Structure 1
Amino acid sequence: MKKKRILLKPTSGLGNRMRAISSFIYFKSLIDAELNVIWVPDAGLNIHYLEIFKPSPYFNLLRPNFTYQLITKSKTLLNNKFGLVRWLSRLYNTIVSRLIGVDCVLLDEDVKKGAEHLQKVCEGKFNILVITGNQCIDYPEGFQAFVPSSDVAAKIEAARKQFKENTIGIHIRRSDHDIAIANSPLHLFEDKIEEYLKVEGDDFAVFLATDDPEVSDYFKGKYPNAVITYPKTFGRNTKEGMMDAVLELYLLAGTKKIYGSYWSSFSGVAKRIYGTDLEILHV
């Protein structure tokens, strides 16, 4: 019997890609399909998969293929207020999908409807192309697929030597993330550190993960004996910056408890790596 085949092109940043892959590890079992991942370095995540992770037994890693880039996932076109534009955009995707040999194309809006919906859509389909930065189901077990590369693992182990036995993690999302800035102000994280200092004194440490160098400098200056950071390259557009983001993610995941920012996937992904307790600090 012909085997179903999922071609998954995860998009957006590191956390979004890991969650998407994890969810389709579940979905491939649901429809008895093989899972193939097309990992494309771009402005959102400028690094190849094998530079940060080892090959996974949970899916096949394929070389990036230009033909899959021809599918449009533009919400401006696919959700346009003019019906003719929506119809033409979907017709274009249908024609392209047939030319590149796939039976159906699933984009963000399809994936957001969940695994059961996708199961119905994929009935009778054998070559399924998925382009998404979303998950079709929350499947923490799927994160077992991600094992840091030898180089990354060695750096993680070296950095963890700074940790104390009681080390909590704090993730402060800033940069262009207006929702996190508005809902998770800095004083909430300062209050949490003060709470621990009153109870634990010098017997605890804070590992701080942030995308803002000013925030990093501020907390290290205010709590020099408690706050630990990884001396990383900030930014997503360099290989060094993205490798450091992976290091920071796994260091955050290895703390006793994570205090995260509102509406940020990074905190949620860190929780799922080792099952670490997560509390989102928000107003």
Structure 2
Amino acid sequence: MATDPTEFWKQLSRARAAFLQGDTDASRAAFQQGQRALATGDAMLDRQRQLVLERSQQHFAGSGEASPDRTACLPAGPGPTVGETGGLSGNLAGNLIGAPSVATGKQQVFIDAQHGLGNRLRAIAAAASIAGKTDRELVIVWHPDAHCDCRFDDLFQYDGPVVSEPFIDTARALGYRVYNYMEVEEGAEKDAPIDASGTASLYIRSAYPLNAPEAVTAVEDRFLRRLDPVAEIRDMIASVRTPNDLSVHVRMQGGLAHEALPYEAPENWTPEGRAQIDYWRGKSHYSNFFRRIDQLTDGAGIDRLFVAADSQATYDAFLDRYGDRVAWLRRDVYDRSARQLKYALADIYLLGHTRRMLGSSWSSFSDIARRLSPNKLATELSGKDF
């Protein structure tokens, strides 16, 4: 029997399902059958299996042990680990099998979400649409880094599989159809057309919308709105005054003035991308929002404001100008830590709790707030509409 990574993933899903149903014997048997699917084969595939092993070890070496809740579902018993078979590393398989997911046995769409919170959610939503339209299983690859230093389950109660370590080279070795939109990386092509035909699993690395006919905005938005924030974030949302007449998102941090920050460092973008960011961040200075708010106050009956911003200085400026007309989610941290990202996600939901928003151009955060809103959110963007 030839080496079959597809059979391995199918058996891994079955093992997970059996474990969640309390049938440890069936779980162990399915897991070992998946191992055998990778371990067996003729001599012509020996080199392919070795390549997979080498790339798995390269990408996951030094990653440390996974937390107990992520590996609790790994069946015990004799036999080689997944890594020893020449397949995916044990750490990756442990993260996947440990996720509280309903097993499907389908091919997968792996979305290796990159950059900040809004960028990641936008890419994941597009991948979810592709997965749904092609009858594949969505697997989120969410790696905490300088842009977004939290786990997916720090933010959402989610029943689907989540992997914590990227494995793009291993995906190539396994024969997945791989797309990398991160244009500063070697071999990447932003906006490359994604071919989701056939039955191959897809591995997509992106911080951007996906170029595929199966990425349908209405389907993406339904996925986003079904995401369930954790209780701590729901409590944050409930703590802020509502209703408000206007929501305001001011995104000033970024561009040349903030390149010392790791998540704003020049190597994250092409020179053209850096120039665009610097230009649009300048258009999002809070003084530009003041002029538009004052116009709306005079002519559209706007009184109560909700403000989301990326610095205390911006909040202070709004409070000095508008006083108790301003509602905001108080905090003392403005970085990309897990703690701050919880505030950020609460802000996204709060921005959508009005029927009108002033947003920041070139900001996925404003875009996601609009798309997550349960209302038809009339949106104006800095530098474009005011």
Q: TM-score range with shorter-chain normalisation?
A: 0.7 to 0.9
**In 2, Cα distance between the equivalents of 1:98 and 1:16?**
24
The alpha carbon displacement at 1:123 in A equals: 3.4
CA RMSD of aligned residues (A): 2.4
1:115-126 matched pairs, under 5 angstroms:
117-119=193-195, 122-126=196-200
Aligned residue for 1:150?
231
1:264 pairs with 2:363: yes
**In 2, Cα distance between the equivalents of 1:226 and 1:200?**
15
Residue identity opposite 1:279 in structure 2: E
1:10 pairs with 2:109: no
**Which of 212, 231, 246 lines up with 1:168 in the alignment?**
246
**In 2, Cα distance between the equivalents of 1:24 and 1:149?**
22
Matched residue of 2:335: which SS?
coil
Q: How many residues align?
A: 244
Aligned residue for 2:283?
183
The alpha carbon displacement at 1:140 in A equals: 2.2
Aligned residue for 1:31?
134
Where relative contact order (Cα < 8 A, 6+ residues apart) is larger, the structure is: 1
Aligned residue for 2:11?
none
Report the identity percentage. Answer: 22
Aligned residue for 1:54?
157
Show CA shifts across 1:158-210 (max 9, x none): 22xx224x421011111114233223343331112212332467x72111111
Aligned residue for 2:380?
279
Show CA shifts across 1:117-142 (max 9, x none): 313xx434522211111121443223
The 1:213/1:6 distance shift into structure 2, 3 A limit, reads same
Q: Which structure 2 segments of 5+ residues have no match?
A: 1-5, 7-104, 182-187, 256-277
Show CA shifts across 1:73-111 (max 9, x none): xxxxxxxxxxxxxxxxxxxx4xx4344x24221111656
Residue identity opposite 2:378 in structure 1: D
* Residues 145-154 or 244-253, more deviating: 145-154
Residue identity opposite 1:112 in structure 2: D
Residue identity opposite 2:365 in structure 1: F
Q: Quick check: 1:43–1:236 contact (8 Å CA) kept in 2?
A: no
The 1:150/1:103 distance shift into structure 2, 3 A limit, reads same
> Which structure carries more strand by proportion?
1
1:21 pairs with 2:124: yes
The 1:219/1:179 distance shift into structure 2, 3 A limit, reads same
Q: Quick check: 2:148–2:341 contact (8 Å CA) kept in 1?
A: yes
Q: Quick check: 1:258–1:277 contact (8 Å CA) kept in 2?
A: yes
Aligned residue for 1:42?
145
The alpha carbon displacement at 1:29 in A equals: 2.4
1:169-248 matched pairs, under 5 angstroms:
169-177=247-255, 178-199=278-299, 204-248=303-347
**In 1, Cα distance between the equivalents of 2:328 and 2:235?**
17
The 1:145/1:179 distance shift into structure 2, 3 A limit, reads farther
Residue identity opposite 2:114 in structure 1: T
**In 2, Cα distance between the equivalents of 1:255 and 1:31?**
35
Matched residue of 2:194: which SS?
helix
TM-score, normalised to structure 2's length? Answer: 0.58
The 1:135/1:233 distance shift into structure 2, 3 A limit, reads farther
Aligned residue for 1:133?
207
**In 1, Cα distance between the equivalents of 2:197 and 2:281?**
42
Residue identity opposite 1:135 in structure 2: P
Q: Which structure 1 segments of 5+ residues have no match?
A: 72-92
TM-score, normalised to structure 1's length? Answer: 0.78
Q: Quick check: 2:154–2:338 contact (8 Å CA) kept in 1?
A: no
Q: Quick check: 1:45–1:242 contact (8 Å CA) kept in 2?
A: yes
Aligned residue for 2:179?
106
Q: Quick check: 1:233–1:244 contact (8 Å CA) kept in 2?
A: no
**In 2, Cα distance between the equivalents of 1:210 and 1:131?**
28
Matched residue of 1:258: which SS?
strand
The 1:208/1:126 distance shift into structure 2, 3 A limit, reads same
The 1:98/1:190 distance shift into structure 2, 3 A limit, reads closer
